[in-house]
Amino acid sequence: MKEKYRNYIKSPQHWKDMFNKFYCWQSKDKVPIKKIKIDRKLFSFDNLVDKKEVFYMMANFSKDIWMPITVNEDYYLLDGQHRLEVAKALGLNYIDVIIEDRSKITFSNKSIKFKETSMEDLINL
């Protein structure tokens, strides 16, 4: 089950390009996993690591969808705790990250209207 990868799996470029479009995010390759710090108060979602989810991700692992984790400038994990656990379980020493600079995020007072989309419309995209 656990295939031993060397020590790093590069994330596909399209993930990095998606984030790099925005000035508050910057991608960085091959960051030592030991450098990643955990403070649950900073997580995007307040959920515990689900071992079943980690196992599922490992069983269905594909380098084509290996998405970087998100950290802040001090390398505290913001999003991707399951991906980080998968990386550790695979024996990786390095992981690609998206660094979020919250000082560059601006908010607007303008309300946003979302178009309602049916499940059928989503399926037929």
Confidence at residue 1, expressed as pLDDT on a 0 to 100 scale:
41
Residue 91 lies in a domain: yes
User: In angstroms, rounded to a whole number, what is the distance separating the alpha carbons of residues 77 and 42?
Assistant: 7
Average pLDDT (6-33) is 87
User: In angstroms, rounded to a whole number, what is the distance separating the alpha carbons of residues 115 and 66?
Assistant: 30
Residue 3 lies in a domain: no
Residue 21 lies in a domain: yes
C-alpha dist (Å) from residue 123 to 19, 113, 115, 119: 25, 22, 16, 6
What length is written for the chain?
125
Residue 45 lies in a domain: yes
Q: Say which CATH number the domain at 118 has.
A: 3.90.1530.10
| Residues spanned by the domain of 104 | 13-123
Residue type, 89: A
Confidence at residue 11, expressed as pLDDT on a 0 to 100 scale:
92
Contact between 109 and 115 under an 8 Å Cβ cutoff? The reply is: no
pLDDT tens digits, one per residue of 24-62: 788 899 999 999 999 888 876 777 899 999 999 999 999
Confidence at residue 23, expressed as pLDDT on a 0 to 100 scale:
73
Domain total in the chain: 1
